[in-house]
Amino acid sequence: MGNRNRIVGLVVLCLGVLTPVAAASALPSYVALGDSYSSGVGTRVFYSESGSCKRSPEAFGPKVAAQRGYALSFQACSGAKTTDVNNNQLGTLTSTTSLVTITIGGNDAGFSNVIINCALYYFTCGGAINEANNFIATKLAGLLDTTYNNIRSRATAAHVVVLGYPHLFTSTGATCNVNFLTSSNEKKLNETGDKLDGVVKARAEAHGFTFVDDRSAFLAHEVCSSEEWLNGQSNPLEESYHPNVKGQKEFTSEVEAVLP
């Protein structure tokens, strides 16, 4: 009887050890893809192991995962273009992936370069905006289609949520930082953002993905507003014109709102 009791005790102990592992493996899988708007640049706090990808615990991906009980694979990376997603971020997508989120397209269109030209040099701003607008009109859709096809071919049953980009600047073109941005160019940059979101939305919906348009939510919270959800010109410079912690909190709410 003593041996039998010891054996039963060991079995119970083993089950006790294995049960949390089994429970963890049963969590629905969530893969967060994309660029700096998904990785969390702008929040100023990052996982040390994420290196130059600048993945933040304050980004919407970890927040959604924690609140909804997902097992997160956090693949988003600062500076990512569609080709970077295709080549480096899709490895953990499978037929059992439940949720995928992504922001992508801004870097393909060179939007960060446009902002630099407009904020620091002024005279090159108009040309940079025109170049971005042309790229968005002629090349972006095909790049997005390739990336979206790649996502769906791997995550065959996942709910895919594509987030757009909020306006960076107020509708009045309010200025507040020490740079060469003018009200006129800020309004033009918002128009370029609208063109970008228009293509992203059209291609996302063509693939049966859910598009989240966050422009309305960010109204009155752009750069130079009384309560900014986006950083203005910052130190370090890479934190500039990205959602801060409040902005990422809003992204979290918007993604949760479209989940079952």
Active site (catalytic) residues: 36, 242
Which pair of tokens denotes residue 216? Answer: 């309305």
Amino acid making up residue 189: L
Phi, psi of 142 (to 5 degrees): -65, -40
Beta bridge partners of 32: 74, 101
Q: Please tell me the distance from the alpha carbon of residue 147 to that of residue 158, in angstroms, as a whole number.
A: 15
Backbone conformation region of residue 88, classed left if phi is above 0, alpha if psi is from -120 to 50, else beta: alpha
Is the separation of the CB atoms in 59 and 16 below 8 Å? Answer: no
Q: End-to-end alpha-carbon separation of the chain, Å?
A: 52
Those residues with Cβ within 8 angstroms of residue 86's Cβ, 6 or more apart along the chain or in another chain: 146, 147, 150
Beta strands in 94-188 (DSSP E): 97-103, 159-163
